[in-house]
Structure 1
Amino acid sequence: MPFTGGDETGVEVRILLVEDDRRVAAALSSALTRRGYEVEHAAGVSAALSAAPSDLVLLDLNLPDGDGVDLCRELRRRSGSLGIIVVTARGEERDRVVGLRLGADDYVVKPFSMAELQARIEAVLRRATQVRPERNLICAGPLRVDVSARTVSVDGREVALTRKEFDILFSLARQPGVAVPRDRILLDVWGTTWADGHTVEVHVASLRGKLGDARLVETVRGVGYRLRAE
């Protein structure tokens, strides 16, 4: 779920996946990529510390070249706004307490479902944006979305949207040019994936009409919708 920020075309949310089991890493990377994230895999502590900057870290604690707890502490020392979710088989209460005290935003015990992980990622990223005031303006082609003011303009013309319409646009605008699944939009806007099959379609149709250019929000057959990036 790319959030806002960076350049004028928007920037993808980058996830650093720190996981030594390559089969688990491959499966998670694939699932996250399908959901529109940019994923970098690090198989250990040293690789994680030398990885490119990211918006969120999924951190296994059992690593071959060091303790994930120490890595969590170092990552938090480097950045107070970085989202960190511990994803590990260590399910004891003391492990959870230590991880959270060292700076993790959340703690997920294996095995878990992608729906659960997705919801936790969403929640952590939402909290992270609250301490990133520079990431309040999303720009994609003629579209400008001011997240703080909840205002939208197209070619300088202000567009009045309902709360749901704005939230749908925000869900798409966080990753311009990337197909966003209907379930992801439902989770972003309604907080659930259980809804009438036409709920999203009806609101998207209204959103397109208000934007004045139906081509800005493209339908991706069998997947969901995509905001045109240029």
Structure 2
Amino acid sequence: MKKTITILEDDADIMDICTLFFEFEGFDVIGYGTVTDFSRNILPTHLFLLDVRLPDGNGIEVCRTLKEDSRFGRIPVIIMSAHIHPLTKSDKYGADCFIQKPFDLDYMLEQVGLLTR
């Protein structure tokens, strides 16, 4: 059974790169460009990949909401951002991992693999 990654990212180029990359690596990918669409359509997944700065919200707040929800709280969350200092600890935000943009796809795949075992 394929694992699913749900991505919340408003930059179409980054969304396309991540989608193509993860699909090539054997994952199913569900993508959303806004918090509104994400919140309306959220389904169980194997991992959430959240951008921080979004046109109608904040990925950190989305992460906190997910972690407080009994349906999604145990699902790993990776936060990615170019706007947070890379030494900032992801546990401060409730995420399981933080990835600095621009990111290395191999490193991201490694983290996704660790979190979806």
- TM-score, structure 1 as length reference: 0.47
Q: Specify the SS of the correspondent of 2:84.
A: coil
* SS of equivalent to 1:86: strand
Structure 1 111/93 Cα, relative in aligned 2: closer, same or farther at 3 Å? closer
2:79 is the alignment partner of 1:86 = yes
Structure whose alpha-carbon radius of gyration is higher: 1
Percentage of pairs with the same residue: 26
More moved, 41-50 vs 27-36 = 41-50
After TM superposition, the runs of 4+ consecutive aligned structure 1 residues lying more than 6 A away are none
Specify which structure has the bigger relative contact order, considering alpha-carbon pairs within 8 angstroms and separated by 6 or more residues.
2
Structure 2, unaligned runs of 5 or more: none
Instruction: Report the aligned-residue RMSD.
Output: 1.5
2:116 aligned counterpart, secondary structure: helix
Residue 56 of structure 2 corresponds to residue 62 of structure 1: no
- What is the rounded CA distance, in whole Å, between the counterparts of 2:33 and 2:65 in structure 1? 17
Letter in 2 for 1:83: P
2:80 alignment partner AA:
V
Q: Equivalent residue for 1:110?
A: 101
8 Å Cα contact 1:42-1:51 kept in structure 2 = no
Determine the structure 2 residue equivalent to 1:43. 33
Note the C-alpha offset of 1:51. Answer: 2.3
| C-alpha distance in 1 between matches for 2:37 and 2:44 | 12
What TM-score, normalized by structure 2, do the two folds share? 0.89
Counterpart amino acid of residue 56 in structure 1:
L
Between the aligned partners of 1:93 and 1:17, the Cα distance in structure 2 is 20
| Length, aligned pairs only | 114
